[in-house]
Amino acid sequence: MIDGVKAYNFYTNLVTEDGHIYNAAGTELKIRKNGYVMMYVNGKKVTLSATRVVYEAITGVKLTEIEGDGRKAGRNFLTIPIDGDPTNIRFDNIKLVEKKDYYKNYDFRTSKYSKDIKKAIRRDYNREERAKHNFRGEWAHPTYDELVEKYGCSRSLVYNALKKETKEAGE
CATH number of the domain residue 21 falls in:
3.90.75.20
151 belongs to a structural domain: yes
* 36 and 73 assigned to the same domain: yes
Instruction: State the burial class of residue 39 (Cβ atoms within 10 Å of its Cβ: 0-12, 13-18, 19+).
Output: buried
Q: How far apart are CA 30 and CA 22, in angstroms?
A: 9
108 belongs to a structural domain: no
109 belongs to a structural domain: no
Direct distance between the N- and C-terminal alpha carbons of the chain, in angstroms, rounded to an integer: 62
How many structural domains are present in the chain? 2
Strand partners, 19: none
Torsion of CA 76, 61, 29, 8, to 10 degrees: 170
143 belongs to a structural domain: yes
Give the pLDDT band of residue 69 (cuts 50, 70, 90).
very low
* 88 and 17 assigned to the same domain: yes
What per-residue confidence (pLDDT) applies to 22?
93
* 75 and 129 assigned to the same domain: no
* 65 and 138 assigned to the same domain: no
How do strand 21-22 and strand 7-10 relate by DSSP bridges?
Answer: unpaired
Neighbours of 81 (CB within 10 A): 18
* 21 and 47 assigned to the same domain: yes
Residue 68 in this model has a pLDDT that exceeds 50? no
Residue 86 in this model has a pLDDT that exceeds 50? yes
Which residue range(s) make up the domain with 33? Answer: 7-102
Of 109, 107, 100, the C-alpha closest to 78 is: 100
* 94 and 124 assigned to the same domain: no
pTM, rounded to two decimals: 0.58
